[in-house]
């Protein structure tokens, strides 16, 4: 998988015109600091694909890595990307220069212990990032060009129809993760479901859970975000800062609590409150609790006596790749309704600062290229 490929003659690489030697990239240099620098364009080897990035979404995971320094610099982050294939190495048959695509940054091997059990995100190959703009591979969408390594080029790139914009296509990767999470939470038609947190991830969870036919409640301390959730399918939205969320939820569910809570907030207190808001035998799915340092304490009786389930869901699943992508490609979800800001690459620090400290007006933020 990671074996070094012999240097390929430039004549063997098919390109869409001349490829520059260098490019601009937002390089994560220190905690909270990303600088726009001139770096080498990745060289394409055998079975590899080079993509010119048109747009890349800022993910909450990017913010954690950069502002809480969960990974060591220097790195070029950004994994919600779409663009145009500009070069393919020998052995690439699925794509050609000029194709409009999006690319995942992880792809599993498909045959290991974990893949056989559909735990794709635990696969060793999956954990090896296969999309890079240089330095330690980590997505690379905050650059002008990214390279898909062989295992991603083979199974992790999705072709885009002409009627889907690059901005829309940046949602294909996150919607896959959301679709996987909603399936794992076993959301069913007619169930009462609470989405805790109405940021970009929470609102995408809301959109997808709405397709499953659930009766949806939301909670968020920001009134603007609560109002947005009501336009996207929530029947009611609550302010959790008043300490009445559990009582409000139970009052609307005959005193039981909701069947499931989808937690889109990375805060231990929210998990405890979500357990309290779920009915006996209910499910609490942790979507945002994905950092290595947070510790969560909760009453043992919530699980041991009330039989509530705590579930986790991380990253995308390859076996739902086509089905999840269709939700975006066929415009079944109003994903563009949550895009509030677009920044050019030169202003990436400003974009990241806003994503790290959101305002009443900000939701999903995109880095776009001309």
Q: What is the pLDDT of residue 307?
A: 98
What count of other Cβ atoms lies within 10 Å of the Cβ of residue 252? 17
Rounded Cα gap, residues 131 and 51, in angstroms: 10
- Please give the backbone phi and psi of residue 108, each rounded to the nearest 5 degrees, phi first: -80, 165
For β-strands 364-368 and 49-57, DSSP reports them as antiparallel
Domains within the chain, CATH numbers bracketed: 10-174+317-368 (3.90.180.10), 186-312 (3.40.50.720)
Q: What is the pLDDT of residue 11?
A: 61
Q: What is the pLDDT of residue 5?
A: 41
Whether the Cβ atoms of residue 355 and residue 146 lie closer than 8 Å to each other: no
Q: What is the pLDDT of residue 370?
A: 76
Residues comprising the chain, all counted = 370
pLDDT in tens, the chain (370 residues): 444 444 555 568 999 999 999 999 999 999 999 999 999 999 999 999 999 999 999 999 999 999 999 999 999 999 999 999 999 999 999 999 999 999 999 999 999 999 999 999 999 999 999 999 999 999 999 999 999 999 999 999 999 999 999 999 999 999 999 999 999 999 999 999 999 999 999 999 999 999 999 999 999 999 999 999 999 999 999 999 999 999 999 999 999 999 999 999 989 999 999 999 999 999 999 997 777 788 899 999 999 999 999 999 999 999 999 999 999 999 999 999 999 999 999 999 999 999 999 999 999 999 999 7
Give helix 172-184 / helix 321-329 axis angle, nearest 10°: 120
Q: What is the pLDDT of residue 60?
A: 93
Predicted TM-score (pTM) of this structure: 0.94
Q: What is the pLDDT of residue 3?
A: 42
In the beta sheet, which residues pair with residue 199?
Answer: none
| Direct distance between the N- and C-terminal alpha carbons of the chain, in angstroms, rounded to an integer | 34
Q: What is the sign of the dihedral through the CA atoms of 327, 61, 279 and 258? A: negative
For β-strands 131-132 and 145-148, DSSP reports them as antiparallel
């Amino acid at each position: 998988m990671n074996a070094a490929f012999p240097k390929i003659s430039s004549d063997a690489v098919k390109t869409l015109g001349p490829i520059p030697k260098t490019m601009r990239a937002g390089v994560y240099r220190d905690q909270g600091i990303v600088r726009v620098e001139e770096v080498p364009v990745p060289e394409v080897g055998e079975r590899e694909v080079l993509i010119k990035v048109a747009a890349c979404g800022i993910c909450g995971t990017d913010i954690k890595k950069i502002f809480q320094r969960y990974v060591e610099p220097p790195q070029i982050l950004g994994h919600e990307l779409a663009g145009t294939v500009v070069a393919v190495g020998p052995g690439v048959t699925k794509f050609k220069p000029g194709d409009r695509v999006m690319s995942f940054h992880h792809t599993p091997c498909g045959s290991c212990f974990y893949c056989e059990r559909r735990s794709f995100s635990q696969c060793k190959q999956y954990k090896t990032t296969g999309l890079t703009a240089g330095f330690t591979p980590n997505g690379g969408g905050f650059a002008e060009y990214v390279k898909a390594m062989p295992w991603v080029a083979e199974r992790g790139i999705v072709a885009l129809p002409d009627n889907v914009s690059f901005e829309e296509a940046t949602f294909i990767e996150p919607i896959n993760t959301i679709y996987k999470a909603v399936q794992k939470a076993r959301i069913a038609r007619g169930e009462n479901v609470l989405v805790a947190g109405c940021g970009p991830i929470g609102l995408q969870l809301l959109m997808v859970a709405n397709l499953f036919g659930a009766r949806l409640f939301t909670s968020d301390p920001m009134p603007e975000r609560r109002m947005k959730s009501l336009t996207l399918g929530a029947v009611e939205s609550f302010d959790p800062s008043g300490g009445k969320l559990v009582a409000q939820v139970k009052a609307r569910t005959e005193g039981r609590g909701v069947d499931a809570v989808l937690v889109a907030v990375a805060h231990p207190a929210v998990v405890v409150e979500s357990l309290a808001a779920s009915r006996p035998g209910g499910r609490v799915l942790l979507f945002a609790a994905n950092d290595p340092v947070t510790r969560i304490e909760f009453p043992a009786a919530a699980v041991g006596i009330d039989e509530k389930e705590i579930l986790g869901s991380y990253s995308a699943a390859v076996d739902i790749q086509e089905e999840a992508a269709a939700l975006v490609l066929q415009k079944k979800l109003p994903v563009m309704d949550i895009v509030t800001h677009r920044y050019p690459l030169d202003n990436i620090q400003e974009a990241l600062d806003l994503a790290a400290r959101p305002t009443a007006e900000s939701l999903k933020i995109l880095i776009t290229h001309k």
